[in-house]
Structure 1
């Protein structure tokens, strides 16, 4: 077993700082929820106090002011906070900066309260609702309505923020079109569960393949099922929950080399990543694809589609395998199966080093962003040539 290096951040931490993060995503329930859960886990020891204000899921029950069912997906909720409770909690914390992660009821109330209190706001932009509405309701009146509501919410959020932060160029360009006053590229942190626990070196085999994520249309789960049909000697696993659960369970019942694992907590997911040889992410689009970075950190092979935002980070590309637009996931897997065990081991080792290096730089970058936001009244640097973005891309 190999122990990954501990991230040396003590010299760059914003000591004495109080930070509030407000999000409509429950910790660990989707990509945004996992992002801030992982970020705060590693930043908290470096600050005076940091708190996450969001819905929570405990023993399968949603803990929030009011939880409404989300049409088409019973695994997600539209959560409305208690405004007086959130206001009291922020007054008690007295944050010096507020990070608003989402454009839902929590996020919109959070930016309103922060603006009234004169607290600077950083807005996270992690999900392209424009692409989601095109995929789910293309050309319909429902799609136009949902798209309009999300765009209005984002514009309100961006108008109240000092800067809008995203983890891909595409997201930042979209934010600029929606009126963001300034934009900044941010990396994606890796949870301590994935970054700081002992990992098993890759054995060079390609016998077990894992998909992990929300079971939804944008994830292109058909490609996983097709790959399982074409490669019957390889074991495929799907971890996650979502609106396509019944379809995945049906496919798993039909194919002997495909199994559905259900939704997994972080420790169980890390154990499954370690048990498999390759992480497959054939999504139609991903703002980033955090699970791909986590699998890299565990020294596993990672195969992603050309629609995944992680490919926009040049420092990570040498550790990734890509499904080009003209290929299927099954075809791309055939190329990896044709490689030697030593070639696959070398790629996995390279991936782990690149992922852990970027994780360290991401956390250092966040500390710099928070310090700058508190100490300066001017907007954060905008555009693709800012020094912070250049430092990240040179990882």
Structure 2
């Protein structure tokens, strides 16, 4: 099917601009607007609520995040009016399951994305005993979505096997797009010396923010800035009071993040669980040096890995930063320039590949069906209760 004639609907649970998954689809849709006939994004937003967005409740284990419920009638009306060739959903989630049900009911091909290691996340937040129950439920939802979809899209090689094992048909590896601000804002030259280091992201257990705080404490000669919000904000606030060289900025807009990265020489992504690490790609696009842990999925992309500074096994952040600081000025600039080229190439390839995946998915025939009635009844009850 010709990409230019495609109508694509994204139904996303993640709040717009509040985490990596939410930002991913926000950026992807902005690029696809020039590539397809029509693209719509149904996604909760704290500032400008979507017409299909209903009530919400705090997410267990992280009160800074909220679980939103869709308005089923409004979402159904949008699908009826738009008549999309493909519905894209990241699972699991209430929005995703309702979008999946509508697609199955009307015989619309579904593309499911797999971008988060849910089993490791629930262990971090809920402990092993509760994690078994929650993980089992999430895995069941994933299997349902994978087995009923026409294709699955993942953002790193290691997740292809996981998706296939869960029943995904035709899993595809897709890249990560960048917001236009990170690509088109004029580049600020990298300073000759390393004096400022930053972290951008959620302040949560999986991000291992404690190691960034420890890095700031070990290097009083450098300035450290943290942009983000989350359940560990209090810990960062306390550390910033003790350390004169550590500043917490809180949640920042895209423009503020660009400015923060531009005035820094190094961005650190210290995550213990990270399917990809979009902020690392964003910093690369700004021609900055990026330190990642071995747990970051972005390392699995060879072209990107050459522009990263990946921690060695058993190495701590102070030692990694010291290695980076030990490079000559020219070596650091060459690495930063290489990083920008690789990031911009990833952005272009991701948009083109997504177009191909969506066109292929739209061409696949699917017959109308439905979710098991108990599951559908539960989803309807939840959505109507919180509308």
**TM-score w.r.t. structure 2 length?**
0.91
Structure-2 separation of matches of 1:262 and 1:349? 29
Question: Separation in 1 of the partners of 2:10 and 2:167?
Answer: 22
Q: 1:99 aligns with which of 77, 85, 88?
A: 88
Is the CA contact 2:42–2:52 (under 8 Å) kept in the aligned structure 1? no
Corresponding residue pairs, total: 366
Shift of 1:197: 1.9
Can you list the C-alpha shifts for 1:117-158, whole angstroms capped at 9, x where unaligned?
111110011111011122233422x21221122112111211
- Look up the match of 1:276: 264
Please report how far the alpha carbon of residue 194 of structure 1 lies from its aligned counterpart in structure 2 after TM superposition.
Answer: 0.6
- The answer for unaligned runs of 5 or more in structure 1 is 1-11, 379-395
Q: Which of the pair has the greater relative contact order for Cα pairs under 8 Å at 6+ separation?
A: 2
**Which residue number in structure 2 is paired with residue 48 of structure 1?**
37
Q: Secondary structure at the match of 1:45?
A: coil
Matched, 1:230 2:230: no
Measured in 2, the distance between the counterparts of 1:270 and 1:39 equals 18
1:109 equivalent in structure 2: 98
1:160 maps onto 2:137 in alignment: no
Distance in 2, Cα, partners of 1:303 & 1:186: 23
1:243 aligns with 2:243: no
Deviation at 1:60, TM superposition (A): 10
Of residues 2, 5, 8, the one that matches 1:19 is: 8
- SS of aligned partner of 1:116: helix
Equivalence for 2:182: 194
Give 1:79 deviation, angstroms: 1.1
Structure 2 stretches of 5 or more lacking a match?
367-387
**SS of corresponding position for 2:306:** helix
| Equivalent of 1:354 in 322, 338, 342 | 342
- Determine the structure 1 residue equivalent to 2:117: 128
- Do the aligned residues in 2 keep the contact of 1:120 with 1:373 (CA within 8 Å)? yes
Q: Deviations over 1:43-83 (max 9, x none)?
A: 11222110001211107999821201112212211111111
CA distance in 2, matches of 1:309, 1:80: 30
Aligned pair 1:315/2:303, yes or no? yes
In the alignment, what sits opposite 1:80?
69
- Correspondence list, 1:55-74, <5 A: 55-58=44-47, 64-74=53-63
Instruction: Check the 8 A contact 2:52/2:72 in 1, yes or no.
Output: no
1:79-108 deviation digits (Å, cap 9, x = unpaired): 111111110111111101111123100001
Asked whether the 8 Å contact 1:205–1:344 carries over to 2, the reply is no
Q: Would the aligned equivalents of 1:133 and 1:143 in 2 still touch at CA under 8 Å?
A: yes
Give secondary structure in 2 for the equivalent of 1:355.
helix
Distance change (3 Å), C-alpha of 1:131 and 1:62? farther
Q: Give SS of 1:187's match.
A: coil
In 2: Cα distance, 1:232 partner to 1:59 partner: 41
* Cα distance change on mapping 1:321 and 1:13 into 2, 3 Å: farther
Q: Which residue, out of 285, 289, 298, partners 1:301?
A: 289
TM-score w.r.t. length of structure 1: 0.89
Write the deviation string for residues 354-395 of structure 1: whole angstroms up to 9, x where unpaired: 1101111111111111122223449xxxxxxxxxxxxxxxxx
Q: Does 1:204 align with 2:192?
A: yes
- 1:217 and 1:63 mapped to 2: Cα distance? 31
Contact (CA 8 Å) 1:43, 1:363: kept in 2 or not?
A: yes
Tell me, yes or no, if the aligned pair for 1:208 and 1:235 is still in contact at 8 Å.
Answer: yes
Paired residues of 2:42 and 2:50 also in contact (CA < 8 A): no
